[in-house]
Amino acid sequence: MKHVDEWRDAGVALRFAEAIAGITTRPWTIMEICGGQTHSIVRHGIDRMLPEGVTLLHGPGCPVCVTPAGVIDAGVAIASRPNVTFCSFGDMLRVPGEHGSLLAARTTGADVRIVYSPLDALAIARNEPDRQVVFFAIGFETTAPATAMAVLQAEREHLENFFLLVSHVLVPPAIEAILGDPACGVQGFLAAGHVCTVMGYTEYEPIAQRYRVPIVVTGFEPVDLLQGIYLCIRQLEAGKSEVENQYSRAVRRDGNTFARDAVAHVFALQNQRWRGLGEIAASGLGLAPAYRRYDALDRFTDAALPTEQPGVCIAAELLRGRKRPGDCPAFGTHCTPEHPLGATMVSSEGVCAAYYRYRREETTCGSEACRHVSRDEARST
């Protein structure tokens, strides 16, 4: 049986869906920039609760998915060196580069270990001083503060065997890259609440003004998402383009100033290549000059150059919101979580993984009637 809170949340969600229908007078296209939000939307059928014409697109909100193949290859090359212990979050191990994966490297003898925090890698470096320990630092602004703290701690302890392969990326430049695409049809954004918990949302305000798009900082529960969509459509219908904070229980306008200060101290802005989006100016974090001695790419000079994803995978189109998983001929057949062709199927936050888990049958059956469940049916389930 459902808990009483679940019934209450379902009732609130339905009222928000009805409120959205009540204010919508024309088609609108909204994009969420968070893999966690994507999974919640697909799992709970949020998109099916919306009125006809309101379209949700899934953007490049999965940090694993946007890590370029060349960085994966660099990690594999570094991990395969003798005397190196390569530490990574678990969902990165199976992500394919052009020349294999970290999991494949581990099966051939590389010392690749799963950790849950950069501080875990720091502890390995402390306890195994004869090993060269490299932490694979990926993610958006949410994970960058923990990486920064690990660097500062390594400096305090004078550890000389701790290094980082850094691929931290920033959300606001990615939004601008999407909006700057002539083919872009996105009219509003749901910003990731956990990113804004760290960084705040002041950087989104000039974007909203420049491109005349509303941006709503949104949480991850169905009620959060529906309220965020409601606020976004309310602005669109009124011709407004402002930043609103739906996730006020966790997000402040200026974010977490201590975390922001640590990131600004340890890192410097740099141009960054994104899988699917190409290079975006000032969209990445590289180690600042004072901390470059911790850079694994400087320490180990045989890193691979950035390369492109194999042609059969349409991850680039998915991450730009141009296509959906069902548009890929390999989805659910040649490409599955057990045998992934691209990062969007590997990652637990990837859009292909979400559709495979929650909508595989209707996405792969080929029938339009099967692929598009009516909104009335979705509301009744």
Query: What is the Cα–Cα distance from 285 to 124, expressed in whole angstroms?
Result: 24
Query: What is the Cα–Cα distance from 321 to 244, expressed in whole angstroms?
Result: 22
Q: Is 301 exposed, middle or buried (0-12, 13-18, 19+ CB in 10 A)?
A: exposed
Token pair for residue 366?
Answer: 């080929």
E strands along the chain, which residues?
Answer: 28-32, 54-58, 84-88, 111-114, 132-139, 162-169, 188-192, 215-218, 243-245, 267-274, 278-287
Query: What is the Cα–Cα distance from 21 to 18, expressed in whole angstroms?
Result: 5
Could you give the 3-state DSSP secondary structure of residue 360?
Answer: helix
- Output the pTM of the full model: 0.89
For 305, residues 6+ apart whose C-beta sits below 8 A from its C-beta are 70
Pairing of the two strands 54-58 and 28-32: parallel
Query: What is the Cα–Cα distance from 98 to 241, expressed in whole angstroms?
Result: 41
Query: What is the Cα–Cα distance from 60 to 127, expressed in whole angstroms?
Result: 37
Amino acid 380: pLDDT: 43
Token pair for residue 68?
Answer: 């370029």
Per-residue pLDDT tens digits of the chain, which is 381 residues long: 444 455 457 788 899 999 999 999 999 999 999 999 999 999 999 999 999 999 999 999 898 899 988 999 999 999 999 999 999 999 899 988 888 899 999 999 999 999 999 999 999 999 999 999 999 999 999 999 999 999 999 999 999 999 999 999 999 999 999 999 998 999 999 999 999 999 999 999 999 999 999 999 999 999 999 999 999 999 999 999 999 999 999 999 999 999 999 999 999 999 999 987 889 999 999 999 999 999 999 999 755 444 555 567 888 888 888 889 999 999 999 899 888 888 888 887 899 999 999 998 776 554 343 434 444 444 444
Residue with tokens 């697909």: 42
Give me the helices (H) in 80-137, please: 102-107, 118-127
β-sheet with 28-32: strand ranges across: 54-58, 28-32, 188-192, 215-218, 243-245
Long-range Cβ pairs for the range 8-11 (8 Å, 24+): 9/221, 9/222, 9/223
Q: What domains are there in the chain, each with its CATH number?
A: 1-311 (3.40.50.11740), 315-380 (no CATH)
Give the sign of the dihedral formed by CA 72, CA 75, CA 63, CA 202: negative
Radius of gyration of the chain (CA): 21
- Amino acid identity for residue 219 in this structure: G
The candidate with the shortest Cα–Cα distance to 351, out of 300, 380, 381, 316, is 316
Token pair for residue 74?
Answer: 């660099």
The candidate with the shortest Cα–Cα distance to 148, out of 264, 269, 289, 297, is 264
